[in-house]
Copies of this chain bind each other. A is one copy, B any other.
């Protein structure tokens, strides 16, 4: 049955064409200007055709959102070559911000925009896998830090949420232009110091632990 296989392939190919066109438009023109009609024109199909491959506009951006998380995971994984988990965690912070700065639109779609979230809600099950892969990387690193004594023992969820929140806060305040009172060129330095500061919260300091523990 080579016919079915070919059809399957063709079907997937057009789906990818739609996704590529949508991504290109999204990165160049933004979400609002990436209309179903503009995508259709780019791939030289009728707008209605797109609805044979995606349920709605949100589902298209849900797919782009997923690809963004793949890129994000790859970026964060660059830290894995670092042996020391505490240094690795610190490096993940830099990589996080590098991703946010280099791929603002993707970051925005993944962590801020409503569209990709609304797509899965109608699906029924809230499949949260793609983002979870990166979050698990963070969790595992924290656990390793605590196990190997680089970090004082504390609730994993609290540590993970604290770190994620600081990172996302900086990235999203910048991307959504809520830090315009600062010279945009010094922001990376401010963010760096903020990360360094936070790292100290978690640091296990044997010499002072008896004083700071309570």
Contact = CB atoms under 8 A, between A and B. Distances in A.
A87 interface: no
A178 B111 contact: yes
Interface string A131-161: 1100100000000000000000011011001
A123 interface: no
A74 interface: no
Contact of A197 (B117, B162, B164, B178): B162
Per assembly, the copies of the chain total 2
B200 A158 contact: no
A201 B199 CA distance: 9
Interface stretch (A53-61, A77-85, A205-213): A205-213
B172 A172 contact: yes
Nearest to A30: B114
A208 B202 CA distance: 16
Given A173-B168, A201-B201, A212-B200, A179 B161 contact: yes
Contacts of A112: 112, 172, 176
Nearest to A166: B166
Nearest to A207: B211
A157 B181 CA distance: 11
A131 B179 CA distance: 10
Contacts of A205: 208, 211-212
B169 A164 contact: yes
Nearest to A117: B177
Nearest to A168: B169
Given A165-B194, A197-B202, 17 more contacts: A111-B173, A111-B178, A112-B172, A117-B176, A126-B180, A135-B181, A161-B182, A162-B166, A162-B197, A162-B198, A165-B173, A167-B169, A169-B170, A205-B211, A205-B212, A207-B211, A208-B208
